[in-house]
Chain A
Amino acid sequence: MSVLAISLPGFPDSTPVAGLAGGVLIGLAAALMLLGAGRIAGVSGIAARAFGIGAGSMPRRGAWAFLIGLPLGALIVTGMTGAAEPSFAGPAPLIIAGLIVGIGTRLGGGCTSGHGVCGMSRLSQRSLVATATFIATGIATVAIMNGLGIEVLL
Chain B
Amino acid sequence: MIRGILIPLASGTIFGAGLALGGMTDPARVRGFLDLFGAWDPTLAFVMGGAVLVMAAAWLVQGKLLRPWFAEGFSLPDRSDITPRLVGGSALFGVGWGIAGLCPGPGFAALAIEPVSAAVFVAAMLAGMVVVRVIEGQA
Contacts and interface: CB of A to CB of B under 8 A. Distances in A.
Contacts of A23: 18, 22, 46-54
B89 to A, nearest CB: 3
A57 B76 CA distance: 10
Given A53-B133, A138-B98, A104 B93 contact: yes
Interface in A101-147: 101-109, 111-113, 115-122, 124-126, 129-131, 133-143, 145-146
Given A19-B22, A27-B53, A111-B93, A98 B42 contact: no
B50 A22 contact: yes
Contact of B26 (A14, A66, A84, A146): A84
B124 A22 contact: no
Given A120-B52, A153-B31, A134 B93 contact: yes
Contacts of B97: 97, 101, 112, 134, 138, 141
B33 to A, nearest CB: 8
Interface residues of B, number: 117
Interface string A12-53: 011110111111111111111111111111011011100101
Given A34-B62, A35-B62, A37-B70, A108 B90 contact: yes
A130 B50 contact: no
A148 interface: no
B14 A25 contact: yes
19 contacts: A16-B42, A23-B51, A25-B22, A26-B50, A27-B54, A31-B58, A32-B7, A34-B62, A37-B71, A39-B74, A40-B77, A69-B9, A74-B25, A99-B131, A101-B96, A101-B121, A105-B104, A106-B133, A131-B90
Interface of A: 4, 8, 11, 13-16, 18-41, 43-44, 46-48, 51, 53-54, 57-59, 61-63, 65-78, 81, 83-84, 86-89, 91, 93-109, 111-113, 115-122, 124-126, 129-131, 133-143, 145-146, 152-153
Given A14-B42, A103-B128, A106-B129, 6 more contacts: A22-B23, A32-B14, A72-B13, A98-B127, A112-B103, A135-B34
Ranked 5 nearest A-B pairs via Cβ: A102-B128, A22-B22, A69-B12, A23-B50, A27-B54
Interface of B: 4-29, 31-32, 34-59, 61-62, 65, 67-77, 79-82, 85-105, 107-114, 117-118, 120-133
